[in-house]
Structure 1
């Protein structure tokens, strides 16, 4: 059985191995996606806990109200961050999987959406790490997402080359 650590390492430095991981169980792939979601959620939650985002509450009455119910806000914020990260990441993986299926057709490779979804779920590792890094460095612009998109598509292309070829009709 493949460990999450090995999947993480292979998704970072061995993109061609991701095609072999298309045969992983969907449960193992989803576990890996939830590890990425945890990575995406931890830093914004720490920012919330330390009060970095508290500057948005400038109204005196609202600030006092927030301090009164702060014990309730922390679990609610964690649930909200996790839920939004989950929805967003699954949506992004699904879009990349569709792009991967198009790549498979263009490259005359055999594969289904479910296989490409698994590959895309692993290929998104670099993009996830870059998102966290840009968040830490406080870089937010439309161009901060571009490197992650290009890297993920490149990894999908490399992984697609290892999918089996469609046999030619005689």
Structure 2
């Protein structure tokens, strides 16, 4: 049975999952990698669209809303006598060469990027991080320099997205292998409850296919950008139930011998 047919069977058939326990470990590992790739597709899509939208929004703000400025000798100077705050919905951009706005003011914003008189302040997640212009000693940055930086990032999207996606895939794969290994150990406890006899290697193969249904469900929820309450509990509950049902499909050796 090919991997894609196994994928389909694993979404609804504990009996087929039980039969997969005899297949080679290499094919099972390949299945886990494919399942991981499917699970991160919504994240890769949102990463791509958010990066593209963020770059275009930043370009628009820099070109149209922010006055010309220069960062030199540890101080910001700009063509404005008043602080400027640009509200972009969930994100704010602040330019203040006057020194009126402080770090505490920036922290009052949910998410913000601020060019202050002597430092850059970035607010998010209930905290604010600051970076002093003195770190740029001997260097001078202007609005045009920031525009060039954004243009370079825009030109590197074709590299940034694949690199970040690869890290996401590797990290998610590692998490999935750990999760399947834990589920396989749980399977050894479930075999006693079901009155069946299986080894850890068989339990591991079955566990790898038992995670298919919850993975598909949460991938769809991620694709439509819907948060599922208690997702971790639901995920483990469904996996364990499917694995238990699959274990019960294994013929009972005692009954087989009697027959």
Counterpart for residue 50 of structure 2: 51
Match of 2:197 among 93, 105, 110: 110
Structure 1 residue 165 displacement after superposition: 3.0
Indicate if the aligned counterparts of 2:40 and 2:219 stay in contact, CA closer than 8 A.
Answer: no
**Greater per-residue strand proportion:** 2
Distance 1:59 1:94 in 2: 43
Matched, 1:150 2:204: no
Distance 1:14 1:159 in 2: 8
Counterpart for residue 8 of structure 2: 9
Cα RMSD between the aligned structures? 2.8
Counterpart for residue 24 of structure 2: 25
Q: Closer, same or farther in 2 for the Cα pair 1:7/1:19, shift >3 Å? A: same
Distance 2:9 2:163 in 1: 35
Indicate if the aligned counterparts of 1:110 and 1:164 stay in contact, CA closer than 8 A.
Answer: no
**Greater per-residue helix proportion:** 1
Indicate if the aligned counterparts of 1:47 and 1:53 stay in contact, CA closer than 8 A.
Answer: no
| TM superposition score normalised by structure 2 | 0.57
SS of the equivalent of 2:192 reads helix
Structure 1 residue 109 displacement after superposition: 1.4
Matched positions, count: 167
| TM superposition score normalised by structure 1 | 0.83
Matched, 1:99 2:98: no
Distance 1:119 1:108 in 2: 16
Q: Closer, same or farther in 2 for the Cα pair 1:70/1:59, shift >3 Å? A: farther
Relative contact order, higher structure (CA 8 A, sep 6+): 1
Indicate if the aligned counterparts of 1:101 and 1:113 stay in contact, CA closer than 8 A.
Answer: yes
Structure 1 residue 26 displacement after superposition: 0.5
Q: Closer, same or farther in 2 for the Cα pair 1:53/1:151, shift >3 Å? A: farther
Ranges in structure 2 where 5+ consecutive residues have no aligned partner: 55-90, 92-110, 115-145
